[in-house]
Structure 1
Amino acid sequence: MGKTKDIDALIELMAKLPGLGPRSARRAVLHLIKKRGILFAPLADAMQTVAATARECLNCGNIGTEDICDICSDDKRATGELCVVEDVADLWAMERAGVFKGRYHVLGGTLSALDSIGPDELRIPQLVDRIVAENIREVILALNATIDGQTTAHYIADQLPDVAVTSLAQGVPIGGELDYLDDGTITAALKARKSF
């Protein structure tokens, strides 16, 4: 296979992407090669441009092409609400839903004693600074319902005694069937029940 080493190298790189294994990467590369005129060259150009221009927002940690992202620079989003998420993928998921109109703060992970990740390894000190600087009245903790996520949420809540701290509701997803849910989800849904 020495004559296809460049193609093999591309397949290996693609297989490192989330959601792609070696077989999926091979199919993707073959598709790109077949459609090289309309897909391959534009994709390569776009990747090169993004590699050169992408940067982390100095304010919230979002990814964009400017030092301050579009969300942070939008005055209409200065609502006094700040949604705290673990990573940029979570921020983008919240934006896709289109229901939150405030600003965000990306922590860059969660507290983890096993991985030696403390508050200073995350963007928690910057969060505390933003609360005062931006006159934040409510911090919404949109962290994953894992042990590390909940530990991080409790730590942050303890650091913010003068601000309303809320979290996303947890429980049965829309379209979910009880038989397919784990015990923790059912327990959280039952505790967060509301009048009908």
Structure 2
Amino acid sequence: MASQEIEALSSALARLPGLGPRSARRAVLHLVKKRETALPALLDALLAVQDTLEECRICGNVDTRDPCGICSDPKRDAKSICVVEDVADLWALDRAKLFSGTYHVLGGRLSALDGVRPEDLAIPGLLARVEAGGVDEVVLAMNATLEGQTTAHYLAERLEDFSVRITQLAHGLPVGGELDYLDEGTLAQALRARRPMG
């Protein structure tokens, strides 16, 4: 039996997405074995972001500054906005370095089963950005799930009144797949083959 403190650390890690109890125990064992190097580095990294993490008021990205590094980058093409369901999707697309525009994080997707309605998402912020002008294209990069496609169609309807080109990622993304789990080649192909909605 491990001590109460080690069990508490395992339990805390097991609550993180993608880590179950077994993975959390393995992570704790690694930290214990490498406590001279791994533990201080992890603690320093956690402390460095503990008080500085913020949600970008423009796009909803998570960064240590507001506006985030993407929104404040003058090299970004502000005429093109890529709409994603959550921050993990934004990070996956931006990691591929194939999209030079800006992003907008909805904070979820429409889902009648889960009770997620349009007013629960960051749709007003997106509409305000488009209405302010200077946006030529809105890329709807929703996950290839039923809820993701429902969200994309809802957004396309809301954006119809604006003079912007509405595109979506090409089909060919695996049905039921989520952007955060796709390789960069698949993401590259989907971005290059985006097409108008409707």
- Does TM, scored on the shorter chain, surpass 0.5? yes
How many residues end up aligned between the 2 structures? 174
Residue identity matched to 1:97: A
Distance in 2 between residues matched to 1:79 and 1:5, nearest whole Å: 51
User: Does the 8 Å contact 1:119/1:125 carry over to 2?
Assistant: no
Query: Where does residue 188 of structure 1 map in the other structure?
Result: none
Deviation at 1:41, TM superposition (A): 1.5
SS at match of 1:75: coil
CA RMSD of aligned residues (A): 1.8
Deviation at 1:172, TM superposition (A): 6.5
SS at match of 1:53: coil
Deviation at 1:137, TM superposition (A): 0.8
Where do residues 1-196 of structure 1 align in structure 2 (5 Å cutoff)? 1=1, 4-161=3-160, 162=162, 163-171=164-172
CA distance change for structure 1 residues 78 and 132 in 2, over 3 Å: closer, same or farther?
farther
Runs of 5+ in structure 2 lacking a partner? Answer: 175-192, 194-198
Distance in 1 between residues matched to 2:173 and 2:128, nearest whole Å: 35
SS at match of 1:89: helix
User: Does the 8 Å contact 2:78/2:134 carry over to 1?
Assistant: no
Structure 2-normalised TM-score? 0.83
Deviation at 1:132, TM superposition (A): 2.2
Residue identity matched to 1:166: T
SS at match of 2:70: helix
SS at match of 2:140: strand
Structure with larger Rg = 1
User: Does the 8 Å contact 2:144/2:173 carry over to 1?
Assistant: no
Worse-matched range after superposition: 75-84 or 135-144: 75-84
Distance in 2 between residues matched to 1:160 and 1:94, nearest whole Å: 22
CA distance change for structure 1 residues 40 and 134 in 2, over 3 Å: closer, same or farther?
farther
Deviation at 1:79, TM superposition (A): 4.0
Runs of 5+ in structure 1 lacking a partner? Answer: 174-191
Identify the structure with the greater helix proportion.
1
Which is bigger in relative contact order (C-alpha 8 A, separation at least 6)?
2
- Aligned-residue sequence identity (percent) comes to 57
